[in-house]
Amino acid sequence: MSGNKIWLRVEANVRTDMGGEQARFSYSTDGTRFTSLGNTLNMNKDWQSFLGYRFGIFNHATQSSGGSVNVASFDVTTP
């Protein structure tokens, strides 16, 4: 991956009454063209109060301690 910006996207229907038990993740290096990231995630909606709408961004260091993530914006949209 080149550049110093990345756009992350998750598309998920988290309403318990509308089906849509899957989430799809993607990324972009230009903010326009998105590429799939990993497999489609099957969400478990067996709980009485489904809480699949809580999103977060984390830095997970795999080679040494430290690092950071600078989040310029975080948007949630509804259809």
Q: What is the pLDDT of residues 10-41, one digit of tens each?
A: 888 776 665 667 788 999 999 999 999 999 88
For residue 79, which amino acid is it?
Answer: P
Instruction: Please count the other Cβ atoms lying within 10 Å of the Cβ belonging to residue 60.
Output: 6
**Among candidates 14, 43, 39, which has minimal Cα distance to 25?**
39
The pLDDT tens digits of the residues spanning 6-15 come to 899 988 877 6
CA distance linking residue 26 with residue 37, whole number of Å: 5
Q: How far apart are CA 59 and CA 4, in angstroms?
A: 15
Please tell me the distance from the alpha carbon of residue 48 to that of residue 61, in angstroms, as a whole number: 35
User: Which band of pLDDT confidence, cut at 50, 70 and 90, is reported for residue 74?
Assistant: confident
